[in-house]
Chains A and B, each alone.
Chain A
Amino acid sequence: MKKKRNSVDVLSMNGSKWRFLLFLVIPTFALYLFFCIVPMINSLINSFYDWNGYGPKTFIGIKNYANIFSDVEFWDALKNDVAIVFFKELIIVFLAVLFAVSLTRARLKKGEIGFFRFIFYVPNILSVIVITMVWKYFFENFDFLDKGWNILKTDNGIWADRPLALIIFIASWCGIGYYMIVLITAINNIPGELYESADLDGAGKIRQLWYIILPELAPQIRFVIVNILAGSLAVNMNLILPLTNGANHTMVMGLYVYNYGTSNLSMVGYAYAAALVLMFVSFVLCFAVNMYMKRQEAKQA
């Protein structure tokens, strides 16, 4: 039997209900229109112009887009963004699950759980500038720690030879805490009977993790993956700017747009085009990943 949904019968609504509905919808829609849709359309229009931000604009069609796609630095930036996001996803998902399971299923005391939650969550409440300065100082001055390993000590300095690896590490370190809390909440919502049944059947902790916790966490893990993807592509520059300023081939798309739009390069039309490309890439990746994961979940169900 088909489940009946709760719904509002729009046709039978009286005037006061309509007014109330419009009262809620119109401000939201107006704000969305003026602060989201209009700037996007404005960006699209400006991306077809040769404009330095001051003075007259010259219509040049799709030349800005053609120049972007023929720019080696743009492809470097895109490649870096994808690499950062990909490894960040792997590290955060793996460690956030590990920490969340440890703090919920391991036999820890209440005080210990609170302590570790706080420790893992601290990076989320620190300013990006503080985080970048701390890690930058650490990697520049503590290379003696790996004497013999030569992971941190390189010919030209770690920030010159392995900047991307460090950026991925720092970006992941910042993100684990928040997603760990999300997963802890989900794990706490798993019915205790499932664990009891598994115990009676003789399933160990690892099997419980594999057959109970991970399947139950699937929607939250999908949320984590899509959220990292959507939140990273545009904001990787927040870390890159203070850490490397794009030097040593660490350009990312956000910084690329920023440089062309606001610095003395002042190619504003070009920056608009680059920003739209960034938005398009983010949208396509998020959409594709989301669809893929939904299908996988449906298959498993």
Chain B
Amino acid sequence: MKISIKKTLAVVLSVATVLSLSGCRIVYKVSEKEVEKVHYDVITVEDEVSAETPSSAESTTTSNSQNKPNGNKGGNTSSAVSAKPEKEKKLSGSLKIQVFINESQNPSDAWTEVADAFEEATGVNVTLIMGSQVNTQYSARWLAGEAPADILLIAGNGLPDEQMAKSGTFYDLSDVIKNGKVYGTSKKISDVLNMKVIETENGKIFRAPLMTSVQGLWYNKNTIKTAPRNYEEFKAISKKQKSGLTYPGQYADYSTWGLFMPAVAAYGQDFFNQVASGNPDAFKDKRFMAVLNKYEDYCKSKLVLVGSSSADHITSQLNWLNGKCGFITNGLWLESEMHDYIPSNFHMAFMASPLIENNQKPTVIMNSVNLAVAKKAKNLENALAFIRFIYKENMQLAYMSRYSYASALKSVNYQHAAMSTVARETLDYIYSGKVSIVNKGVRWNNLIDNEFKNVINDMTNGKMTAKQASTALYNAAKKSS
């Protein structure tokens, strides 16, 4: 009997060992899949190539918005990059790009499309290191001063790009952005790019804008026919809904940048810059107080969906999609992120923050989604060519249509791009002229960001008044200055 028990135990232990070993291998495979390596075949190019390939031919209509900042246009307006093809220096070798992508498939499609086009145009062999954990997986190597990739998409958490730029991890792109030409054309990048969204460190450009994005409120057009244009309308419409507004309390900065700061920006770029750069006195200014007072009144009227201050971002988004409230603070990525969960009777629509006076114009804050080139890039020349390549109009359209973001260029004809109706309507709204656009350009200390999140949740829960919130933010700004 004893022997049979021992045998049984041995069998069980063996099975457990085999299972655990196979479990390890499964984890390893998943991990490898997460860092999806898309490898492209090398296209050998014998002679100097014309970078202008049929697939990347530009629109040649005339621009009427070259001199207008943020003048992206829909309809039959122009392309900014509409020059004759220029011959480019022959390139060879490879290029590694680290790309953070979220759960959605769309962004990875954009990168695949652009990488294909770059390979075709240059003959460079592109490797995309993509996944939602790439920042975590490679941060130690960046931290150690290595360059695990030639180009880095600055997105997601875990990469303190400001510190990396200051510490010399990134290559100085000033010359490329100011004097370089869009790949394969005679157009200067500085002429076509929205230069106002560029963030600099001591006057040097370490981050090249890939796209631009804004945050604000989303609503369901099927239930809210006309978007509120000011606070009075916002409150009135909210009262007619089951509940007014939701936001992810665990990531309350969605409200900081979708609700509060755009309302601050409605007072103009100068005042916005004062607040966004963390000037303590700006948090005591009557204009800032006016924004806080509106939110205090909104919370006192019990118009924020119960549970918002503790919700994570998916919960808040599902609550909104399930019709529990009228509005949600979020960014342009919302449609792409929730693509599979949007009910059929739901028509998403974007609007600027309504925490403004009747006589103010709705405003959005435009910030850039950036690429950086590693200072120690093994394929520096190829990396710089790629930076020039992304400013070709059809490359911008590839990103815009898959990310649902705005272009980094001043003007892009997106009307015929393969993008969703919601993305097109959103871009139409942003560039309609009914909305003011303020460029972010500056950053405050993250301590203020942290305090702002606490303030929003406390105000939502009725544990803080507007005046207390102003003092808390003033103290945080004072401490960080």
Contacts and interface: CB of A to CB of B under 8 A. Distances in A.
A265 B252 CA distance: 16
B446 A156 contact: no
B168 interface: yes
| Interface bracket on A | 20 to 34
A52 B160 contact: yes
Given A156-B462, A264-B160, A247 B167 contact: no
A264 B450 CA distance: 11
Given A54-B143, A160-B307, A247 B457 contact: yes
A53 B160 contact: yes
Given A54-B143, A55-B167, A55-B168, A140 B307 contact: yes
B310 A157 contact: yes
B461 A160 contact: yes
Nearest to A246: B250
A136 to B, nearest CB: 9
Nearest to A159: B310
B166 interface: yes
A263 to B, nearest CB: 6
B163 A248 contact: no
The A interface, classified by DSSP as helix, strand, loop or mixed, is loop
A247 B456 CA distance: 10
Contacts of A245: 250-251, 312
Contacts, number: 84
A54 B160 contact: yes
Contact of B250 (A157, A247, A259): A247
Nearest to B304: A156
Contacts of B251: 245
B153 to A, nearest CB: 15
Contacts of B157: 263-264
Contacts of B315: 140
Interface residues of B, number: 33
Given A245-B250, A248-B457, A157 B167 contact: no
Contact of B167 (A52, A140, A244, A262): A52
B158 interface: yes
B309 interface: yes
A161 interface: yes
B460 interface: yes
B169 interface: yes
Nearest to B169: A54
A157 B307 contact: yes
A159 B307 CA distance: 7
B307 A156 contact: yes
A36 B278 CA distance: 40
Contact of A248 (B142, B168, B169, B309): B309
A155 B457 CA distance: 13
A248 B169 CA distance: 36
A163 interface: yes
Interface in B130-172: 139, 142-143, 157-160, 163-164, 166-169
A247 B255 CA distance: 14
A115 to B, nearest CB: 21
Contacts of B336: none
Contacts of A207: none
Interface string A159-176: 111010000000000000
Contact of B309 (A157, A262, A263): A157
A263 B157 CA distance: 7
Interface string B245-258: 00001111000000
B160 A266 contact: yes
B252 A156 contact: no
10 contacts: A54-B143, A155-B306, A156-B306, A156-B460, A159-B307, A247-B249, A247-B309, A248-B249, A248-B461, A264-B446
Given A55-B163, A156-B307, 20 more contacts: A52-B166, A52-B167, A54-B143, A54-B166, A54-B169, A56-B167, A155-B461, A156-B462, A157-B308, A160-B310, A245-B312, A247-B252, A247-B309, A247-B457, A248-B457, A263-B158, A264-B159, A264-B446, A265-B447, A265-B450
